[in-house]
Structure 1
């Protein structure tokens, strides 16, 4: 293992990586420990070396990342790594082999790196440092070894899984999933950050209860930033929504009386939370939640819902035959889009734009058969 934390060490590592026909890549960040996430490590393995590269040192990673973007890469759970490298460096890889996706496509019941390393390399990887604060320096030998192991075994795992994919005729399935992953992870975000306060469980809320959700979220952000802690370590989002719902029904009561309230709600945060609740009626009411780009299936009639149920049933049957998770054939959002498109043939299904080519090939016939029996457009045309 080579620690790369100086310009000269980076120059040497880049030259060695340039000579390699492939590279295995991983990253470590500190979002579990700090308010603003930092990229703390980039791990790169080649046939001859394992490099642990320190972005927090005085080194410039642009040249190395440009080099890596042109190489065949191996990653385990590539979505996070691509997103964080794209966010900090506008990085986009050309070719990725994701071992998690390979495990999913092959129907592995366990898809973690430790599971795959045990199965294919007969090694037991420690999980002890999974939640370490990777921004702390210096990094001890145990953390450096853990980081290096995240990429060290990926080449062997890939070689074995490539053969299994070929034997099952699923190489193209995996390739299409990985290509889609690259595009999705490097896409320009469309979410409005001003709406980040709309936490899970708050969509059905309105009026002063929804206003309190927003106020509680803003208070938590201030606390997290001041303490340099991730927001969830101040108070969980679920708890904030629970507080808002309870306070909406009990506006004059002390938050400490809320059933099953966490200790920090009754203790250190009690005064601040009660102050927000007391001015709940004066808070500006935000607009109710409006789903974006969501198929309005709740407005459908009986036929549309029947088709959705039948598509899910057919998906489950086929997934069981293939020994894969049903969502690999088509997730629920894709099924809803298909129903809206009401395809009559394979070309209609392709134009719906919600299935990968292999999904349309493997599952498309069953989808079209469902529409042969029940056409959701027939009732609307009458």
Structure 2
């Protein structure tokens, strides 16, 4: 298991074919204001790749963009709604098709309200990750070893979680409904960026 660090783009040919786990680190939670700093990606075979973007980056990352936009690769996220918005706003690609472990958790683990990635990994995989670096400064010229490990851990387990959550969705008869939610997520992210982040447009209320 190795964490690979890259500047401004993913090297060509470092990922195996197939689905990839994806996550992002930004300067904050407001997409238009808080720039994209890091994209983490893994093919599920044991290594994680971190792509750091410097202040003032042009986000010209053709290799990374090609993987993210590939319609034949499912992108596995935890809380895809946020990552899709950051990727589309800064990299200019729709990083779909999507599987979101947070949505899958909410649709299957209805016995709890604990759907954070740390909670899923603890319950479903029996492993523990640290979230200590979650609110650290991702915009510096260097990433600390703790930041690199934190970022890598956010994609390290997503393939395994997806593979455990799909049978639960099937068991509860909710796989098709979950897939419809996943398919809508790029639009949900665009609604967030367009000003409807806190509004339920399906509600009767104004």
Of structures 1 and 2, the one with the larger relative CO (CA 8 A, separation 6+) is 2
Alignment deviations for residues 138-190 of structure 1 (CA, whole Å, 9 cap, x no partner): 21111100000000000110000001001111101110111111222135954
Q: Which residue of 1 aligns with 2:103?
A: 101
Q: Secondary structure at the match of 2:14?
A: helix
2-structure distance, mates of 1:130, 1:6? 21
Structure 1 segments, 4+ long, off by >6 Å, are: none
Alignment deviations for residues 82-118 of structure 1 (CA, whole Å, 9 cap, x no partner): 1011111221133100001001111251100000011
Distance 1:79 1:23, change over 3 A: same
2-structure distance, mates of 1:124, 1:36? 32
Distance 1:189 1:40, change over 3 A: closer
TM-score of the superposed pair, with normalisation by structure 2: 0.84
Structure showing greater radius of gyration is 1
1:105–1:173 contact (8 Å) kept in structure 2: no
2-structure distance, mates of 1:122, 1:29? 28
Normalized per residue, the structure richer in helix is: 1
Superposition RMSD on alpha carbons, in Å? 2.8
Distance 1:55 1:190, change over 3 A: closer
Q: Secondary structure at the match of 1:186?
A: helix
Q: Which residue of 2 aligns with 1:137?
A: 141
Kindly state the Cα deviation for residue 73 of structure 1 after the two structures are TM-superposed: 0.9
* 2:87 paired with 1:90: no
Q: Secondary structure at the match of 1:15?
A: coil
2:98–2:182 contact (8 Å) kept in structure 1: yes
1:69–1:93 contact (8 Å) kept in structure 2: yes
1-structure distance, mates of 2:203, 2:148? 44
Q: Secondary structure at the match of 2:202?
A: helix
2-structure distance, mates of 1:188, 1:38? 16
Kindly state the Cα deviation for residue 67 of structure 1 after the two structures are TM-superposed: 2.1
Residue 53 (structure 1) aligned to one of 30, 48, 51? 51
**Number of aligned pairs?**
194
Q: Which runs of 5+ in 1 are unaligned?
A: 193-199, 201-293, 295-330, 338-382
Q: Which residue of 2 aligns with 1:21?
A: 18
Residue 2 (structure 1) aligned to one of 1, 4, 7? 4
Alignment deviations for residues 242-287 of structure 1 (CA, whole Å, 9 cap, x no partner): xxxxxxxxxxxxxxxxxxxxxxxxxxxxxxxxxxxxxxxxxxxxxx
1-structure distance, mates of 2:189, 2:173? 26
